Amino acid sequence: MLEKVPVDKVLFIDIETVPAYPDLDHAPNEYKKLWEIKAGQLKVQEPSTAEEVYERAGIYAEFGKIICISVGYLSNEHSGRQFRIKSFHGHDEKSLLEDFCKLLDSSFNSRFNFLCAHNGKEFDFPFLARRIIINSIPLPEALEIHGKKPWETEYFLDTMHLWRFGDYKAYTSLALLCFVLGIPTPKDDIEGKDVWKVYYLENDLNRIVSYCEKDVLAIARLLMRLKGMPQILDNEVVRINK
């Protein structure tokens, strides 16, 4: 399949999410009750309270929110090849989702024919769709998969699935794949488990945006590595301000 994927038609995506509230003390009572039920269903090695596992709320669309969406794409429209990165970020989730949806609505099937993320089929793509609906925003056609046949959603590229080669027994992290394939790691500062703390305790959204953009670059480099293409060089990376 990859030979049929022109990389300049791929929009690479990564999202960063956090729990909807800094802690359960700030959450509405109904939210607390529902999280207590969810927390009781989580598989943890030791008995834990709902508060102790609350940092994990950010990985569930019903209990979390998106604070950054970074996208990247290859461009030859300027002087030489560029990998251009743009981030939608902020404390107002609805606003950043609306801006992201405008990009998808205006460019998918014209500028871009594929969406690519790492573990995107299980996380990024459904999380985005659910939060878009929760925020009462029209769902972009690119994320609307209800009623579509499997071959009609082949534009969803997932670098973790591509690496499986039919093996569904294990999860392979982006950091591990970058290491074994000789790609610079995007985890040289923080990791996904640190995002909630950096957001709520350190109030450093810019640091999270930088981390998200590194992930997007790593995903693009990974796809190109799987295709046997020359890697994106650091001096080819251009960051676009919102």
Using the predicted structure, report yes or no on whether residue 242 has a pLDDT greater than 70. no
Q: Which pLDDT belongs to residue 141?
A: 92
The distance of Cα 23 from the centroid of its chain, to the nearest Å, equals 23
Q: How far apart are CA 218 and CA 136, in angstroms?
A: 32
What residue numbers bound the domain in which 158 lies?
2-20+63-240
Residue 78: which pLDDT band, with cuts at 50, 70 and 90? low
For residue 81, being part of any structural domain is answered with yes
Do residues 242 and 88 touch, judged by C-beta distance below 8 A?
yes
Using the predicted structure, report yes or no on whether residue 45 has a pLDDT greater than 70. no
For residue 183, being part of any structural domain is answered with yes
Helix-strand-coil percent breakdown of the chain, rounded to 5?
A: 45, 20, 40
For residue 67, being part of any structural domain is answered with yes
- What's the CATH number where 170 sits? 3.30.420.10
List, for residues 180-200, the tens digit of each pLDDT value. Answer: 999 988 888 888 889 999 999
For residue 44, being part of any structural domain is answered with no
Residue 10: which pLDDT band, with cuts at 50, 70 and 90? very high
For residue 153, being part of any structural domain is answered with yes
Residue 52: which pLDDT band, with cuts at 50, 70 and 90? confident
Q: How far apart are CA 98 and CA 134, in angstroms?
A: 12
For residue 218, being part of any structural domain is answered with yes
For residue 123, being part of any structural domain is answered with yes
Domain count along the chain: 1
The distance of Cα 139 from the centroid of its chain, to the nearest Å, equals 17
Mean pLDDT of the chain: 92
Using the predicted structure, report yes or no on whether residue 47 has a pLDDT greater than 70. no
User: Does the predicted TM-score (pTM) go above 0.95?
Assistant: no
List, for residues 112-154, the tens digit of each pLDDT value. Answer: 999 999 999 999 999 999 999 999 999 999 999 887 887 778 8
Q: Which pLDDT belongs to residue 149?
A: 81
Using the predicted structure, report yes or no on whether residue 43 has a pLDDT greater than 80. no
DSSP code, position 143: G
DSSP code, position 239: E
For residue 120, being part of any structural domain is answered with yes
Among 198, 199, 209, CA closest to 240: 209
Share of the chain above pLDDT 90, in %: 75
Using the predicted structure, report yes or no on whether residue 61 has a pLDDT greater than 70. yes
